[in-house]
Structure 1
Amino acid sequence: CNAAIAIAPILDKAATTPLGKTIRDAVTQSQSTTRSNANLGIIIAIVPLVIGSKSPNVFLSANGADTAINESDAQDALDIYAAIKQATAKSLGTRKKYDIQNAPPQAIREAMRYAATTEPKDSIAALWGFGYQSLWDNAVSDLKNYETRAESWEQVIVNTALAQLARTPDSLITRRHGIQESLRVSSEAAALLALPEQDRFSAVEAFDWRLRHPCRINPGTTADLVAAALYVHLWNSCFHELF
């Protein structure tokens, strides 16, 4: 929460600030309030959306985010690489091509496409590499669906996260624990969604406990995608008019 408040002024200026600089400044500001890199994925996923929502009277579309990425340049790529290195140190591992410790390509989309299609595949990179429409088709659609059925926003968000996790193995789990573990977690999420709503809450609590014990298994990429979907959903639901 403190990090979100800290980066808000950076995001407010995103429409008039280069894409890469916005991401780098947001990471720096986030790190001023927390030592973890928990907000990196959210920042990378949301900044193109923020740039795409330049006017409070314009409905946010996937094309707006894609345009922001398409219009980025070599300096943006340098700043994004610097931001990722600043936030993650060596926790990303290494890749044969476009490794984060090396110089970035002229177009950041090239590196993102590679990260999205080579193991361990990165779901946030897939948005950058192949377009944000998948966010609308999946997590944004789930939010709209569950909003009409759930009793609280907490249930809406939990159900959306479960649906995303069941649909796509979590990138962070895959990177830290391997594909078989991420597939197992996705299978558990699908089983939870199959339960009657009245039985799901206690089952979700037990699932959460199992993810934390004996070692911490964090579906962090799923959380990042849900955060991005929430931005879209709240913006397009005119939530922004309250401010």
Structure 2
Amino acid sequence: MSKNIQQLEHWVYLACLMEATARKPGNVHPETAFPDLTYSDFLKSAAVIAPILSHSTSDKVGPSIRESICETQKVIPSNSNLGMVLLLAPLAAVPSEQTIDAGIHAVLDQLTIQDAREVYEAIRIAKPGGLGKTESEDVATEPTGTLRDVMCLAADRDSVASEYANDFHITLGTAVPALQEFWSKSADWESAVIRLQLRLMSDFPDTLIARKCGPNEAKQSAARARAVLDAEEFTPSLSNFDLWLRQNGNQRNPGTTADLIVAALFVALRDGFIPTPEIDTIIKQIPSKFQPELKNDYLQ
């Protein structure tokens, strides 16, 4: 295995691990779960997709996505990672000699109708929550254009699709710079990731919340996220926000924001915008019952 592929595996796994481990409001993490999704599921899915996505290239983005979802479904019955896989596959496909910012447009521009077919199949396999009747019917049919074309059609209602349509403008234009800023100002990596979540939720109302609960609720969650980010008493404000997000089961789960965080962490690690954190600082946040599921070969 080449050094570059080993590095990509490491960065994909680490981005997924850090996002899942940070105790972000409304999301699954080591201390809280949903009825159909646990922290253990995220560890398993990260281990599954890292070796697949490390081999992603511009001519097999769609197959990499479909294979990642197929293999994930073999170990996890629920959808744990469709959004993050959709984001990571083109990012990981950027040639190693280029930065993500310099190379992502060419990757997206080369996507084909076959990539769209592969992704439609991945969506059918994952069965993500929050799809409306029209969206469900769309993915049950034959795509009418390239993967980028069909993502453009959904860009106004889904932030993952918007990234395909706009050269990852959220990840590269907002998320990575914000992560750098919070990383430099925060006491630890987890605090930086939590603040990144709040910033993204406030600037880009979570589209999973919008699909499940309606646009007004997504806008309310954005306003609440901004209030927490600006609060003088940050910790109690964060705790109250977490309680509000969880009041309605997992309907207010900011899952699309979580996917964007994974993308930002991958780009920031891969292109050196943040230093790779000491592994012990991550592992100490993980209860001992979960640590046997960690892929220690990615954590060297």
Q: Does TM, normalized by the shorter one, top 0.5?
A: yes
One of 49, 52, 59 as aligned partner of 1:10 = 52
Q: Equivalent residue for 1:231?
A: 266
For residue 236 of structure 1, report the CA deviation from its aligned partner.
1.4
Provide the rounded CA distance (Å) in 1 between the counterparts of 2:65 and 2:118: 8
One of 147, 153, 170 as aligned partner of 1:134 = 170
Structure 2 SS opposite 1:213: coil
Q: Equivalent residue for 1:154?
A: 190
Higher relative contact order (CA 8 A, sep 6+): 2
Q: 1:14 to 1:151 in 2, by over 3 A?
A: same
Matches within 5 A, 1:31-180: 31-52=73-94, 54-55=95-96, 58=97, 60-88=99-127, 91-95=130-134, 99-117=138-156, 121-180=157-216
TM-score in terms of structure 1 length: 0.89
Unaligned runs of 5+ in 1: none
Write out per-residue CA displacement over residues 125-178 of structure 1, whole angstroms, 9 at most, x where no aligned residue. Answer: 001112113321111111001011000111000000000000011100000000
For residue 108 of structure 1, report the CA deviation from its aligned partner.
1.5
Q: 1:62 to 1:95 in 2, by over 3 A?
A: farther
Q: 1:73 to 1:219 in 2, by over 3 A?
A: same
Does the CA contact (< 8 Å) of 1:98 and 1:104 recur in 2? no
Structure 2 SS opposite 1:14: coil
TM-score in terms of structure 2 length: 0.73
Unaligned runs of 5+ in 2: 1-42, 278-298
> Aligned AA for 2:61?
L
Q: 1:190 to 1:236 in 2, by over 3 A?
A: same
For residue 103 of structure 1, report the CA deviation from its aligned partner.
1.0
Q: Equivalent residue for 2:69?
A: 27
Q: 1:76 to 1:106 in 2, by over 3 A?
A: same
Provide the rounded CA distance (Å) in 2 between the counterparts of 1:214 and 1:89: 18
Does the CA contact (< 8 Å) of 1:98 and 1:111 recur in 2? no
Does the CA contact (< 8 Å) of 2:175 and 2:261 recur in 1? yes
Provide the rounded CA distance (Å) in 2 between the counterparts of 1:68 and 1:98: 27
Does the CA contact (< 8 Å) of 1:40 and 1:84 recur in 2? yes
Q: What is the RMSD of the two structures over their aligned residues, measured on CA atoms? A: 2.2
Provide the rounded CA distance (Å) in 1 between the counterparts of 2:58 and 2:249: 43
Provide the rounded CA distance (Å) in 2 between the counterparts of 1:98 and 1:88: 12
Does the CA contact (< 8 Å) of 2:116 and 2:145 recur in 1? yes
Which has the larger displacement, 63-72 or 125-134?
63-72
Q: Equivalent residue for 1:222?
A: 257
- Alignment identity in percent? 30
For residue 38 of structure 1, report the CA deviation from its aligned partner.
2.3
Does the CA contact (< 8 Å) of 2:206 and 2:257 recur in 1? yes
